[in-house]
Structure 1
Amino acid sequence: MGLFKTRKNKKFSYSPRHFDDKGQGNPYEIKHKFDEFRTTVGSNKGLKTKINHAWDDFKNNPDKEANKRILIIIAILVLIFLFIIEFDLSIFFSK
């Protein structure tokens, strides 16, 4: 009856009239702009693999200023979070 089956999309054999393939690949393929430069995009399966690829991308980044900037932003956000939950920072300072 088809109550529990999903509908299949219709497939058409359409080829564009004015498409000239000169080594550009498939015109219907949708890719991100920087896919060939990133290792974190793709068929990463599992959380551990994603974290490992992101860490390798972070370590092998030629722009070290961006890495420092990211670490500073993360530190500021952590301090803001600790301020919001009223964490006592005096335990880190000795008298």
Structure 2
Amino acid sequence: MGILKLRKNKKFSYTPRTYDDKGEGNPFEIKHKFDQYRKTVGPNKGIKGKFIDAFDDYKNNPDHQASKRVLIIIGILVLVFLFIIDFDLSIFLPK
């Protein structure tokens, strides 16, 4: 090494693994795959705004089989809750 000669810095051509080749966006930002299609992801809203967005997402869902499945699961959970709190279900039955 020469006394008057400065040392050069090393240069690397590094591109992050998650960086898209198109050059769009920040290469270090991590986003979910489907965030751009959801209404419920985004800035913080009040509870009313969250419910409205969730209901719109549910209403505009093209998969009706999943909608029925969610309703069945909610119904079962309500019945289990009523059983746990020892609610008398006989008031719904005809005499």
TM-score by length of 1: 0.76
Letter in 2 for 1:18: Y
Instruction: Give the gaps of 5 or more residues in structure 2.
Output: 1-11
How many pairs were matched up? 80
1:18 aligns with 2:27: no
Instruction: Give the gaps of 5 or more residues in structure 1.
Output: 1-15
Alpha carbon RMSD of aligned pairs, Å? 1.7
Q: 1:68 — aligned with what?
A: 68
Q: 2:8 — aligned with what?
A: none
Percent of residue pairs bearing the same amino acid type = 66
Q: Offset at 1:25? A: 2.1
Q: Highest CA radius of gyration, 1 or 2? A: 2
Q: 1:83 — aligned with what?
A: 83
Q: Offset at 1:90? A: 0.3
Q: For 2:35, what is the secondary structure of its paired residue?
A: coil
Q: 1:46 — aligned with what?
A: 46
Q: Offset at 1:51? A: 0.5
Between the aligned partners of 1:23 and 1:17, the Cα distance in structure 2 is 15
Deviation larger for 17-26 or 28-37 = 17-26
Q: Offset at 1:22? A: 2.4
